[in-house]
Amino acid sequence: MTDLFQVVVFVALVLATAPVLGKHLFQVFDGQPQPLFDRWLTPLENGVLRLVGERGRPAEQAWDYLRPLLLSNLLFGLLALAFLLLQPPWLNPQGLPPMRWDTALHTAISFLTNTDQQHYTPEQSLSDLSQLGALQFLFFTSAATGLAVGFAFIRGLCGRPLGNFNSDLIRAITRVLIPLSFLFALVLLVNGAPMTLAGPVTLKTLEGADQILVRGPVAGYEAIKQIGENGGGFFGANSAHPFENPNPFTNLLAMVAMFAVPAATIDAFGRFLGNRRQATLLLLLVTVLFLALAAVAIGAEQSGNPLLAAWLSGPNLEGKEVRFGAGITALFATITTGSMTGAVNGAMDSLLPLGGLVPLFNLFLQVIFGGQGTGVAYLLVFLILTVFLTGLMVGRTPELFGRKVEKGEIVWSSLILLIHPLFVLVPAAITLAYAPTLSGISNPGSHGISQVVYEYASASANNGSGFEGLGDGTLWWNLSTIVSLLGGRYLPIAALLLLAAGFARKTKVPPGPGTLATDTALFTMVTGVVILILGALTFFPVLALGPIAEAFSLIGAP
Amino acid sequence: MTTLQPPIFPRMPRGRRDQRRYTERPSSDGLLGRAVVQSFVKLDPRLTARNPVMFVVWCGTLVTLAATLEPRLFELSPEAPGRGFNALLSLILLATLLFANFAEALAEGRGKAQADALRRTQASTQARRLLPDGSEALVDSSALRRGDQVCVSQGEMIPADGEVVDGVAAVDESAITGESAPVLKEAGSDVASSVTGGTRVVSDMLLIRITADPGKGFIDRMIALVEGAERSKTPNEIALTVLLAVLTQVFLIAVATLPPVAAYIDSPTPVVVLVALLVALIPTTIGGLLSAIGIAGMDRVAQFNVIATSGRAVEACGDITTLVLDKTGTITLGNRLAEEFLPVGGHSERELATTAHAASWFDNTPEGKSIVRLAEKLDAVTALPMDTATGLEFSARTRMSGTDLADGNELRKGAVEAIKGFVRSRGGTVPADLDEAYERVSRLGGTPLAVCWNAEIHGVIYLKDIIKPGMRERFDQLRRMGIRSVMLTGDNAITAGVIAREAGVDDFIAEATPEDKIAVIQAEQRLGRLVAMTGDGTNDAPALAQANVGVAMNSGTQAAKEAANMVDLDSDPTKLIDIVTIGKQLLITRGALTTFSIANDVAKYFAILPALFGKAGLAPLNLMGLASPQSAILSAMVFNALIIPALVPLALKGVAFRPSTADQLLRRNLLVYGLGGLVVPFIGIKLIDLAVSALRLV
């Protein structure tokens, strides 16, 4: 009952904030006047742009947008890498040593790509300087990069020039990410999240032993972690840690924070297009898909493990934070993987097979609200593919938003389809082929397959959560996931920008009675089916061998 | 010279579509046999490699064949499928390839048969070339060059495409149009002066100026097209091929990465079964039928007696949003005939008729001739010395024609506005009752022609326009398909409005000059619309080239035919509707079969995965209750193979298309091909499985 209540309140909050925040996003990325912000921020933004020698000309080619993106990201990544590799004694109350090179490289790239896979235990590895200077810095830039790409893509699909990357990046940070995370951080502070640079405290436990309690600037860190769909925890326990997620109220807000920006981006897309109905239908589509998946996950966890039914009735509480319970943890898991955040408030590894199938499925589809900026872009790519397939069936060269979908669009869209299997299945197969030496799997059998596939899916989808239990702090894991991290981030970005730039250059055809309308319930349903079929068909065999086989083994099927 | 045949007028477009004859289908004897032979010829890897989907099947067949010869080639496990299973699988894969080849060969074969029939008409003929000194030389038709003049008389074959310079004759064009009634050809007439090589003169004699070099003539183009020799993939076909290729790669990755994953849980994955899984998943149905769909589409266009210069043009037809039509010859019967003389300014009817007779003396157009005939009927023959007079040809710019007498008198007839201008420029006045007569004719939907003698207007000739039967329904159909029709005419706004209303076109442009045609097309194109236009005259050529789809009438001039990307052999402009339908059918068929093909994968997964991974505990996924793992795999593969020939008729004929809105079409096709694609294979595979296990094949 409480689960249902939470789900309803959660969805209501997301759908209610989407138009408000969507309008704001539209104003920010459409360059419209915002009296509340302009007075203080415009001089600041212009100052920064002048500093980097940016004259603010909109990109004419995809490359004009991509070049500053790659350059700036390279710079951000190197900066963070330096912090992690050196880890100087400043703001280092525990006197932690520098990170191992491969873990540092993996961490820097993982945070740079908005993924935040963590192959280390933060409170035992990172100084406050690294947490703030390297990781929290990347929280902002990686989320802003994603938003910039998302809106450049939206502009292209709506027939406009892609825009200026540097300007988009700055405005995303100053007008979207900082204000939102500042507000959220205040709420967290009030609810008890620490915000201090003082070192750890040593406590005497009831048993009389010494316990070292690490503190830090958590509230600010946690806010952008959720808002920016980053997900890398200040503590190893991530959102299950009371400092990161003090109570059920902050838990609810943390869940809303993960979906807020991607939902609002879909709304803002409707405003760019001048067809809000289209955006609303897409928003409803992903909401329905989300609800179906959440129902599976919550149902699985609430009904408990059938093998234990003889001794133990009730939900599966292994690996759950009892403050929230099995249902809410499953809901959180569905949201965090759907939104590419990757923050967790329980152990993914301990989810039951079907409960674990849902996050994996989310990582394969990447559109159930999806990543910061990229989520809506992938959703629109699926829309393009749907238009191409069904548009043919009405007997015209397929059109989307008044522009023809031709070879160029199909090349880039289907390339995006190809990237994910390439960076998930290939490394997973290699790892499993040499499982004894490489994998560090903690549970053999089907669950081991899920662990390995999940790790690469999480890397390639830029999610960051993991079926922990996997011994992933090794050279192999660090280096092989880097390939998936980079491939899953920058190749789709390049393809998206090329697609959008080409699309924007096409002449617009006015709609007529023979035009296939994409803003109808029927077409939206078809899009849903195409998402499920194209997105999941490829991964069905591994899903079958992993979670599905495991599920059958639990119910004692032959 | 033999007795003249009764006068034959250029053919009129025939009535309703169901009564219209198509070109007789080329004989289909031996078509199937040839297609079967071709299916094997096409197994050549160099040919198969052009189709990425089928090439994967081809490679897979090699693997299973190797495993048939030596079952332990890829696996050492004793549980690996035996030789019998591998042999059956190889056979099924080979059949899949052959079925796909057969579909393509069948489509090509129909085109080839048509091309052969055409080529027979092209057998080298002797031509009488006119030398500069006036004598004739007998040369081979292949030696003729552009600009040569030849003489062709009764019973002789016209050696090459050309224009009639002199003479009047009936020509049998049945070789290219399938129409047996001969067609009248004469010099000077815009529409009836072009002749096609390979057609036969059945009466009288023609002097023809050759307009095409050997091998570049009309029939040559036609042969190349129906044969598919020049078939290049259309943009949409390329886009679809890209998507299919990427899907194939995606499934290749999915299947190739399976063995280590499965090995991890000690579930063996025999290579032959992986090949089967891969072939089942990649879109072989659409991959195997894609080229057949394209070829068959061109073939269907040809059966409608339309020659398209490229598949691209046919597909573009499906996207047309605006249709620009000439009124004359398209909406109305080509020849307006003089119906009545309406004198003005106190002149008598006889006076007007005599002046009109003289002004039309040199006018070779059907209108001019009909004026002469009407005047002669009224016995109003001019007495002026016409042997010393000179004719002034009609030009689209001046919009009048006439006769200049040797004594300096100028007789003119033409558009009323043009004649008014002429009279004013000569210092004359316009009679008050002219406008009355003009409006009367216009309101009748006729074309008024004013006639003047120097600066004095004698009256108006009423040229009667007859709207072709069935036009209104045609335009209604176009509207349902989302196509707007625009009528272009040189007539005044009142006449144009009357005709437009009667014919049911959406819009009209009156008093249009040839330049206006291009302007109208460009204006529509600037709005992002795709424009089709039909035309026949030489002055239509630029507009035909400017339009996205230009359809020239076969009765039209060579210039028009060259500028257009389609030529209608029946010279029936409304046939564009049929071509639009074919273009749409092409796209629908492609989309429907792709959707069907991808939707099939769901059932195939549920057949093969539980069979492959029974040991890993996936047996409960066997929703269909298939008898045994091997029978499940074979059944899925047999279904995968059989579905191709089952869909060949659909691919060749095209998915049924009824003019309706996009939403209705989508709903219907999704239901049939999307939902059908999900459900049919479940039933099909189960039935085949029952048969396979009943026959104890495995």
Who contacts A49 (Cβ-Cβ below 8 Å, separation ≥6)? A56, A166, A167, A170
Who contacts B324 (Cβ-Cβ below 8 Å, separation ≥6)? B486, B488, B517, B520, B521, B524, B531, B532, B533, B534, B543, B547
Question: B517 pLDDT band (50/70/90 cuts)?
Answer: confident
Q: How far is CA A100 from CA A44, A119, A120, A478, in A?
A: 38, 11, 10, 11
Subunit contact B257:A508, Cβ cutoff 8 A: no
Subunit contact B242:A410, Cβ cutoff 8 A: yes
Contacts of A529 in chain B (CB under 8 A): 674
Q: What are the two backbone dihedrals, phi and then psi, of residue B54, each rounded to the nearest 5 degrees?
A: -70, -25
Report the chain B residue with the minimal C-alpha distance to residue A444. B265
Subunit contact A396:B673, Cβ cutoff 8 A: no
Contacts of A445 in chain B (CB under 8 A): 265
Can you give the pLDDT of all 558 residues of chain A as single tens digits?
A: 688 999 999 999 999 999 999 999 999 999 899 998 999 999 999 999 999 888 878 888 999 999 999 999 999 999 999 999 999 888 888 889 999 999 999 999 999 999 999 999 998 999 999 999 999 999 999 999 999 999 999 999 999 999 999 999 999 999 999 999 999 999 999 999 999 998 889 999 888 899 989 999 999 999 999 999 999 999 989 999 999 999 999 999 999 999 999 999 999 999 999 999 999 999 999 999 999 999 999 999 998 888 887 787 888 888 888 888 899 999 999 999 999 999 999 888 889 999 999 999 999 999 999 999 999 999 999 999 999 988 888 888 888 998 989 889 999 999 998 999 999 999 999 999 988 777 777 788 889 899 999 999 999 999 999 887 787 888 999 999 999 999 999 999 999 999 999 999 988 877 777 788 899 999 999 999 999 988 888 899 999 999 999 998 888 744
**pLDDT at position A261:** 96
Q: Which of residues 263-302 of B touch A (CB under 8 A)?
A: 263-265, 267, 281
A513 close contact with B: CB closer than 8 A: yes
Query: What is the signed CA dihedral for A398, A401, A403, A408, rounded to 10 degrees?
Result: -70
Nearest-Cα distance to chain B for A270, in Å, is: 22
Q: B486 pairs with which residues across the strands? A: B324, B507
Subunit contact B265:A397, Cβ cutoff 8 A: no
**pLDDT at position B228:** 59
Subunit contact A549:B613, Cβ cutoff 8 A: yes
Report the chain A residue with the minimal C-alpha distance to residue B479. A513
Q: B540 pairs with which residues across the strands? A: none
Report the chain B residue with the minimal C-alpha distance to residue A397. B319
Subunit contact B482:A446, Cβ cutoff 8 A: no
Q: Quick: pLDDT tens for A128-146.
A: 999 999 999 999 999 999 9
Nearest to A396 among B319, B670, B674 (CB): B319
Contacts of B611 in chain A (CB under 8 A): none
Q: Quick: pLDDT tens for B303-333.
A: 777 877 777 778 788 888 888 887 766 677 7
At B675, which helix (H) or strand (E)? Answer: none
**pLDDT at position B179:** 62
Contacts of A542 in chain B (CB under 8 A): 254, 257-258, 261
Contacts of A519 in chain B (CB under 8 A): none
Contacts of A418 in chain B (CB under 8 A): 246, 249-250, 253
The pair of structure tokens assigned to B320 is 């047309």
SS3 B266: coil
Q: Quick: pLDDT tens for B213-234.
A: 776 666 676 676 666 545 567 7
Q: Quickly tell me which residue has 């967290």 as its tokens.
A: A188
In whole angstroms, what is the distance from residue A519 CA to residue A137 CA?
Answer: 39
Q: What are the two backbone dihedrals, phi and then psi, of residue A398, each rounded to the nearest 5 degrees?
A: -55, 140
Contact call for residues B119 and B56 (beta carbons, < 8 A): no
**pLDDT at position B152:** 85
Nearest-Cα distance to chain B for A450, in Å, is: 10
**pLDDT at position B168:** 80
Subunit contact A418:B246, Cβ cutoff 8 A: yes
At B112, which helix (H) or strand (E)? Answer: helix B83-121
Neighbours of B562 (CB within 10 A): 18
Q: Quick: pLDDT tens for B387-432.
A: 888 888 877 677 888 888 888 888 898 888 888 888 888 888 888 8
Subunit contact A548:B249, Cβ cutoff 8 A: no
Percent of chain A with pLDDT over 70: 99
B143 close contact with A: CB closer than 8 A: no
Report the chain A residue with the minimal C-alpha distance to residue B597. A389
B253 close contact with A: CB closer than 8 A: yes
End-to-end CA gap in chain B? 81
Q: Quickly tell me which residue has 């591994």 as its tokens.
A: A542
Subunit contact A512:B321, Cβ cutoff 8 A: yes
**pLDDT at position B537:** 67
Angle at A284 between CA A280 and CA A286, to 5 degrees: 120
Q: Is the pLDDT of residue B200 over 70?
A: yes
**pLDDT at position B585:** 86
Report the chain B residue with the minimal C-alpha distance to residue A441. B264
Q: Quick: pLDDT tens for B98-126.
A: 999 998 888 887 777 767 766 766 666 77
Nearest to A545 among B253, B261, B667 (CB): B261
DSSP output for A129-155: HIIIIIIIHHHHHHHHHHHHHHHHHHH
Contacts of A512 in chain B (CB under 8 A): 321, 482, 484
Q: Quickly tell me which residue has 């943890």 as its tokens.
A: A329
Nearest to A544 among B321, B587, B613 (CB): B613
Nearest to B238 among A391, A407, A515 (CB): A407
**pLDDT at position B538:** 65
Helix segments in B134-234, DSSP class H: 174-177, 218-227
In whole angstroms, what is the distance from residue A482 CA to residue A505 CA?
Answer: 35
Contact call for residues B278 and B251 (beta carbons, < 8 A): yes
Contacts of A509 in chain B (CB under 8 A): 321, 528-530
Render the burial of B441-463: b for 16+ CB within 10 Å, e for the rest. bbebbbbbbbbbbbeebbbbbbb
A428 close contact with B: CB closer than 8 A: yes
**pLDDT at position A558:** 42
Catalytic residue among B148, B326, B363, B536: B326
Contacts of B665 in chain A (CB under 8 A): 393-395
Q: Quick: pLDDT tens for B615-664.
A: 888 888 888 888 888 889 999 999 999 999 999 888 888 888 877 777 88
Nearest to B591 among A392, A522, A557 (CB): A392
Neighbours of B230 (CB within 10 A): 11
pLDDT greater at residue B481 or residue A364: A364
Neighbours of B350 (CB within 10 A): 14
In whole angstroms, what is the distance from residue B93 CA to residue B86 CA?
Answer: 10
**pLDDT at position B13:** 38
The alpha carbon of A119 is separated from its chain's Cα centroid by a whole number of angstroms, namely: 18
In whole angstroms, what is the distance from residue A458 CA to residue A340 CA?
Answer: 8
| Catalytic site includes residue B326 | yes
B587 close contact with A: CB closer than 8 A: yes
Eight-class DSSP state of B122: T
Helix segments in B460-575, DSSP class H: 471-480, 493-503, 514-526, 541-546, 558-563
In whole angstroms, what is the distance from residue B430 CA to residue B418 CA?
Answer: 12
Question: B6 pLDDT band (50/70/90 cuts)?
Answer: very low
Who contacts B29 (Cβ-Cβ below 8 Å, separation ≥6)? none
Subunit contact B617:A549, Cβ cutoff 8 A: yes
Q: Quick: pLDDT tens for B662-695.
A: 788 888 899 999 999 999 999 999 999 999 888 8
Subunit contact B616:A446, Cβ cutoff 8 A: yes
Nearest to B235 among A406, A430, A542 (CB): A406
**pLDDT at position B573:** 66
* Pick from A352, A539, A377: nearest CA to A462: A377
SS3 B306: strand
Helix segments in A127-275, DSSP class H: 128-129, 137-157, 165-171, 178-190, 218-227, 248-273
The pair of structure tokens assigned to B44 is 């050549």
Query: What is the signed CA dihedral for A451, A457, A461, A467, rounded to 10 degrees?
Result: 0
Instruction: Give the mean pLDDT of chain B.
Output: 81
Q: Is the pLDDT of residue B188 over 70?
A: no
Subunit contact A418:B318, Cβ cutoff 8 A: no
